[in-house]
Amino acid sequence: MPVLGYLGSESPERYASRLAAFREGLAETGYVEGRNLAVEYRWAEGNYQRLPALAKELADRQVVAIVAPGGAEVALAAKSATMTIPIVFEMGGDPIALGVVDSLSQPGGNLTGVSSLSVEVSRKRLEFMAELRRGARLFAIAVNRTSPTANSQIRNLQAAADSLGLQLRQLEASTEQEFEALFASVAQVGAGGLVFTSDPYFAYRSPRLAALAVAHAVPAITQSRDFPIAGGLMSYGGDFLQSHRHTGAYAGRIIKGEKPSQLPVQRVTKVELFINLKAANALGLSVPPSLLSSADFVIE
């Protein structure tokens, strides 16, 4: 029975919906965990500094392939652990700019995977928030400085702000202990709303962020649908269920003998806008019809 390695940045509980999608992808290629495939998991439990050591454990185990979903941090850790074992990544950033692959069509080396548009559409979140809060000229952006994509997202957001005639105030948080102060700062700086950059650490903590957004009465938009589902206002980002399903299918194809260098990096181009009308009403906000018509899902 082949043994597949799975490197996760968080815990199985936080990955639950994504794991289900990943297993669906595996099943498409004929593999079912426990029946004709074994999976060894390594979880960083939110401590991303542990990822390189955990990746090396999987490489030393000589697994048939390593699945590295959940962001650039995971992919880079897996890449540092082996140059021979196939790696299937899943991330929201640009794998070429991050040095993960040489090109999308011909990845080269031992890595391939799936890339969504979550990082690239950070600026669109600002546009949606500005459309909702048309009278506001200052907005706060939440940044995790430990993210490899933080600087590029800040540049994109600043370019969007300049084109819209807006000002930005950068707020930083890289641990859960900093979340409370983050939301408290939005009112202190007089921002019309809070725009989260794309970051797995934020995405996997959507329920906590939603609770704080409600407690502090902050209009906020994140990348993950889990945020408005948990009571937050809006989200705009890639379909992570689709990207994880593709990751599972690629893993299955590699187990069957295909080479990662010959599998082009897939681009998940589906991007979803979620709006929670109940949250908007609680904040005393009227959502413009133009914004509602753009939404893929409206929670009432």
- Model pLDDT, residue 70: 87
Measured CA distances, 97 to 92, 113, 202, 205 (Å): 12, 15, 22, 26
Alpha-carbon span 44 to 11, nearest angstrom: 7
- Chain-centroid distance, C-alpha 55: 20
Question: Partners of 168 in the beta sheet?
Answer: 139
Task: Please say whether the beta carbons of 276 and 232 come within 8 A.
Answer: yes
**Helix 122-132 vs helix 150-164: angle between axes, to the nearest 10 degrees?**
40
- pLDDT surpasses 90 at 206: yes
Summarised one tens digit per residue, pLDDT across range 148-188 is: 889 989 999 999 999 999 999 999 999 999 999 999 999 99
CA distances from 118 to 57, 94, 197, 275 (A): 29, 10, 9, 17
d(CA 132, CA 299): 16
Predicted pLDDT of residue 269: 83
* Separation CA 67–CA 254 (nearest Å): 11
249-297 residue pLDDT tens: 999 999 999 999 999 999 888 899 999 999 999 999 999 999 999 999 9
Q: Tens digit of pLDDT for each residue in 98-152?
A: 889 989 999 989 999 999 877 788 899 999 999 999 999 999 999 999 888 899 8
> Do residues 225 and 249 touch, judged by C-beta distance below 8 A?
no
What whole-number distance in Å separates Cα of residue 91 and Cα of residue 97?
A: 12
Distance between CA atoms of 118 and 87, rounded to whole angstroms?
21
Instruction: Tell me how far the alpha carbon of residue 78 is from its chain's centroid.
Output: 17
Instruction: Count CB neighbours of 232 within 10 A.
Output: 29
Tell me if residue 177 falls in helix, strand or coil.
Answer: helix
- Report how far residue 85's alpha carbon sits from residue 14's, in angstroms, rounded to the nearest whole number: 26
**pLDDT at residue 93 greater than cutoff 90:** no
Q: What pLDDT shows up at residue 219? A: 98
